[in-house]
Structure 1
Amino acid sequence: MSQPVVVEVLTKQGCHLCVDALAAARQVCAEFGIEPLERDITTDEELLSIYAEELPVLLIDGRVKDFWRIDPQRLRRLLSETDAGR
């Protein structure tokens, strides 16, 4: 049995792009039976130093797949290529 796919959206408070990205991720992930995780980078100094200028950031299984704007079609394609799409 394979591991479940983990979708994570890195965000911070007051980021309107983050709100939009999280909504898009929730909508697409629901099609695959996945609940995306939201992670506020302001609570993690290392993540803040790495991703502060690229928010929001979409990770699938810990790997960066998109940033700034989350394209629902691209996310749908990426998920269909993982175990979530099988």
Structure 2
Amino acid sequence: MTGPAHADDARVVVYSRAACHLCEAAEALVAEICADTGDTWTRVEIDGDPDLVERFTEQVPVTFVDGKQHDFWRVDERRLRAALGK
């Protein structure tokens, strides 16, 4: 289950695109980790926002933690757990 509906309210934000297998894998791992840590997360689909498409189109999925870019393309479980532990 995702966290809050607004990206500003979530600790982890995954920017992704529709029909993106890397995005689906990243979201599943983020959901699992956040369920374990109790942190909130949300998904933002970039396809409907030209600014986000221009910014992230070649890097999706892009993961942000606490408002700062953390990873792109793949989620490293150990790195994300370490970032959430800070």
> What is aligned with 2:49?
44
Q: Which has the larger radius of gyration?
A: 1
Within the alignment, does 1:56 sit opposite 2:61 as a pair? Answer: yes
Count of residue pairs brought into register by the alignment: 78
1:48 is paired with a residue whose SS is: helix
> Which runs of no fewer than 5 residues in structure 2 stay unpaired?
1-8
CA-based RMSD of the aligned residues comes to 1.3
> Which runs of no fewer than 5 residues in structure 1 stay unpaired?
82-86
- Tell me the TM-score normalised to structure 1 length: 0.84
* Paired letter, 1:76: R
> What is aligned with 1:84?
none
- Tell me the TM-score normalised to structure 2 length: 0.84
Q: Which has the higher contact order (CA 8 A, sep 6+)?
A: 1
Percent identity between the aligned chains?
36
